Chains A and B, each alone.
Chain A
Amino acid sequence: MSGLVGHIRGDSNPRWEVELAEETLLTDDFLRQLINVGEVDILIGLSTHNNAKTIEPVIRAVQSGILKCFPRDRAVIINADGGSQDGTPELVIGASIDDVRSLSKVYALRTLHSISTQYARSPDLGTALRTILAAADLLRAKACVVVSPDSTTIQPDQLQLLVRPVYNDNFDLVLPIYRRQKFEGVLMRNLLYPMTRAIYGYRVLEPYASEFAISGRLATDFLTSESWNNDWGRIGPEICLTIAAITGKYRVCQSYLGTKAQPHRSATDLVAAMRRTAGALFSSMDSSFPLWSTITGSQPVPILGSPTELALEPVRVNRKRLLEMFAAGVSQLEPVFESILSASTLSELQKIAKLEVGEFDYPADVWARTVFEFAASYHKSVISRDHIVQALVPLYRGRTLTFLLENRDRSEEDIEKSVESLCDEFERLKPYLLEGWADRK
């Protein structure tokens, strides 16, 4: 088939090229399973890789959600696995709906299929999502919900909160809003949300979501998107999807999903997370410059539902260690920063790096300028793009420390105000980004 794709690439109809490429995405065995499933109303997609420890409760919650909230709808659970060695796919397939029925005392009118496909021997989030979307497209799903396989706090009702807006209100993308412990979601609140908001002009609180719902229309359209053709589309497809939705004038909303516990992450996870999120975000700005460069300010995105009470224990953070990592980064990566940052910003960072924990402050305006200078440098590829994204990690740690210190004694509401204030700073400084973007240096 790949030979055929190569042959047809010269064809003047690019749509054919993508469609044929999709065919190669799905193995014959997976296709056979899809034939058995047939047309569905709801497709629940999971992208797994060695999630055996957490996958069973997630599947049970999904099954309960379907039985409880959508007993009449045709539904399928599709697991795209990136080469698990711990039996994750077997757990997905083997999760019996009968267990859920007896536990939840709910009744299923229909057959609920759970199928699994291995799309690669190593995890690749882009291919996983693309596999799920291709299945949604082939099965003509009205709504496609992606659920995180390590979501230990997932509740059956969350499925409804994600799907109903697609069903009832014709939204194309439903993004989550979580109730988090106040020192979690720092990357989202300090970088992804403010940056996405300033660039694209929409107040999407969780632009990089591991759980979301999309309409069949958006699934089909995004499947043919150009995002898949670049590295960042493959590494950070979720943020690409969000950006595609808000820039493509699809109907986007946000839905309160309740509490979200952050899985334990190691220091190396942060680099990967930065690649998936900030890297993908910076990358998206290249092609969409004509669109975002004219946007000023931001507009709210509809929020559905109501927030729940927080039920999570606060996390402990080693502030001293954060400071050390920030200071070491500023010092060791100085030659790299000289390529990326303006002299004034670098000078300010060096001053900040000398501060003790008690007086440490990485102010919002400096942080916004830092991020914008990284974005512009990324655009101009002043050095390897991957190195640019990696270099942002120690600086982000410094901003994290400030976030923790500032908000140590603040209430949830006050923290939200502080995040909004940071966003305003990003929006205010957007002309600075445009300047840097246009600068030939």
Chain B
Amino acid sequence: MPLKREQGWYKDAIIYQIHVRSFYDSNGDGIGDFNGLAQKLDYVQELGANAIWLMPFFPSPLRDDGYDIAGYKSVHPNYGTLEDFKTFLSSAHDRGIRVIIEMVANHTSDEHPWFRESRSSQDNPKRDWYVWSDTDTKYAGTRIIFVDTEKSNWAWDPISKSYYWHRFFSHQPDLNYDNPAVREEMWNVMKFWLDLGIDGFRLDAVPYLIEREGTSCENLPETHEVIRELRKKIDEQFPGAMLLAEANQWPADLRPYFGNGDEFHMAFHFPLMPRMFMGLRLEDRKPITEILQQTPEIPAACQWCLFLRNHDELTLEMVTDVERDYMYDIYAKDKTMRLNLGIRRRLAPLLDNDRRRIELMNGMLMSLPGTPIIYYGDEIGMGDNIYLGDRNGVRTPMQWSGGWNGGFSAADPESLYSPPILNPVYGCQAVNVLSQKRTAHSLLSWMKHIIGIRRSSSVFGSGSIEFLYPANHRVLAYVRQLAKETVLVVNNLSSAAQAVELDLRRYKGNILIEMFGRNIFPRIGDLPYLLTMGPYQFYWFRLRRI
């Protein structure tokens, strides 16, 4: 039974990001599938997530892990059938879990029938569905995104003897959104899935939909027109469905994607994520407060999406050169860990498997303004395999138990879509769901706890934020407020114990109630409020006037 699409549901969501292929294999073929995912929905529910974001599961040659789509209205046979998807969707909704799917709108696979037709001749009716040129010199001001693999945004097509435009891999030709037929067909694709009951789309590579000479071909006004057109149709026909923008841009460039509340409902806050890692390692709140100061206000109905890690590299596009060099030196000394302008590692290895740092980062993820996304496996501290190509090292099988293939699949280990993590630190025998479920102090148990606290109050999802600037720069403190509810968050970014004095005079008379243990702290008076904090410790206090 579909969940009612309430307006603004995404603001209080905890999103769990899953790749079907990696989660659970129900038929023993070595590849995760929808039936397997449906079987594991209880786990997602117990974790406390109330939304799932699925990475692409459509027919695809899988040269870019499904982001090269060869058919938009069906399911890749590796993962099951459309009926399996419907069953999964229904099961998720039965548990109150919403489902967000990928809409890779910017490009298709070069094996998509549209592109095959388009390249077949210059007179083909679908010729204008893609961006063709006789030369490779147009749009010269456009940067190359996959700098490690691509030399140009144009690729030569020997069949139709001309160049086609691609912002990502050369096997991913960009669709031509100047063509109304393309826009209409993409809406039909979205409508297809919305009719099935999905709750929202993550729109991949949004800034690149339109190209114009003399520009960077990013964030163009015409791109916003396309988005407004889609949003209008959604609001009219599927109210409550959500659009999430993947636009790796600076906050000021991202702001227009919310429009006047008539474009995206949510957008990833890409620049914040690397700065959280930076602030932690520098033991200085500056990178975090600075980027949030630069983050403009967004319409009331809109929301930022926050994440620590995802299926891609830890992107360093939205940082300065000084910051990028620092991040590489600190988090990716081994050059194998680097990919494009980023670092292809999971959360736990990035943080040296330091439980205190993992908790602190998740604490900030859950308490800063926005909707948090947890990447599958990070809730148990899974590791990565930097020796697998591209970003596959962070897309290894979910580790359910210490047994055969980590409980992921009954197949022969050699037939798995990817080798599981085997090392003694992060391997399935050391890190798995089953053992962590049995331990009250495991990372998984702790994650359930913090998610529960986060979901206990709308202040985190919808409240305002005001930063306090204590003289101790290693402490990041802010007040979240929604109506009469006020929460004080204090994070010690340092590896050493710290004393911090907070100016809380405007909350004089309130007592502090620590939200994890529900202990009472002294009443706020006229003097600076002194807290002593252990290494990487953080507090969430509910303020109450009693």
Chain A interfacial positions (CB closer than 8 Å to B): 32-33, 35-36, 38-39, 71-72, 74, 107-111, 113
Contacts and interface: CB of A to CB of B under 8 A. Distances in A.
Contacts of A32: 471, 501
Given A35-B472, A113-B473, 18 more contacts: A32-B471, A35-B499, A36-B470, A36-B472, A36-B473, A38-B494, A38-B498, A71-B322, A72-B282, A72-B326, A108-B286, A109-B286, A109-B287, A109-B322, A110-B282, A110-B284, A110-B286, A111-B284
Which of A39, A110, A113 lies at the interface centre, i.e. has the most chain B CB atoms within 10 A of its CB? A110
B492 to A, nearest CB: 11
Given A38-B494, A38-B498, A109-B326, A33 B286 contact: no
Which of B282, B286, B326, B472 lies at the interface centre, i.e. has the most chain A CB atoms within 10 A of its CB? B472
State the main secondary structure of chain A at its contact with B. Answer: loop
Interface in B169-206: none
Sorted from nearest, which 9 A-B pairs have the closest CB atoms? A111-B473, A36-B471, A36-B472, A110-B284, A111-B286, A107-B322, A107-B320, A111-B284, A71-B322
A36 B471 CA distance: 6
A109 B473 contact: no
Contacts of B282: 72, 109-110
24 contacts: A32-B471, A32-B501, A33-B471, A35-B499, A36-B470, A36-B473, A38-B496, A38-B498, A39-B496, A71-B326, A72-B282, A72-B326, A74-B283, A107-B320, A108-B286, A109-B278, A109-B282, A109-B284, A109-B287, A109-B323, A109-B326, A110-B284, A111-B473, A113-B473
B17 to A, nearest CB: 29
Nearest to A35: B499
Contacts of B473: 36, 38, 110-111, 113
Interface in B392-442: none
Nearest to B329: A72
B285 interface: yes
Contacts of A72: 282, 326
Contacts of B285: 111
A72 B322 CA distance: 9
Nearest to B323: A109
Interface residues of B, number: 21
A220 B326 CA distance: 30
Interface of B: 278, 282-287, 320, 322-323, 326, 470-474, 494, 496, 498-499, 501
Nearest to B278: A109
Contacts of B470: 36
A72 B472 CA distance: 18
Contacts of A35: 472, 499
Which of A107, A108, A109 lies at the interface centre, i.e. has the most chain B CB atoms within 10 A of its CB? A109
A434 B423 CA distance: 73
Which of A33, A71, A107, A111 lies at the interface centre, i.e. has the most chain B CB atoms within 10 A of its CB? A111
Contacts of B496: 38-39
Contacts of B471: 32-33, 36
B481 to A, nearest CB: 25
Which of B473, B494, B496 lies at the interface centre, i.e. has the most chain A CB atoms within 10 A of its CB? B473
Which of B323, B326, B471 lies at the interface centre, i.e. has the most chain A CB atoms within 10 A of its CB? B471
A33 B501 CA distance: 11
Contacts of B494: 38
Which of A33, A39, A72 lies at the interface centre, i.e. has the most chain B CB atoms within 10 A of its CB? A72
Nearest to A38: B474
A107 B326 CA distance: 12
Contacts of A71: 322, 326
Contacts of B320: 107
Contacts of B286: 108-111
A38 to B, nearest CB: 6
A183 B474 CA distance: 49
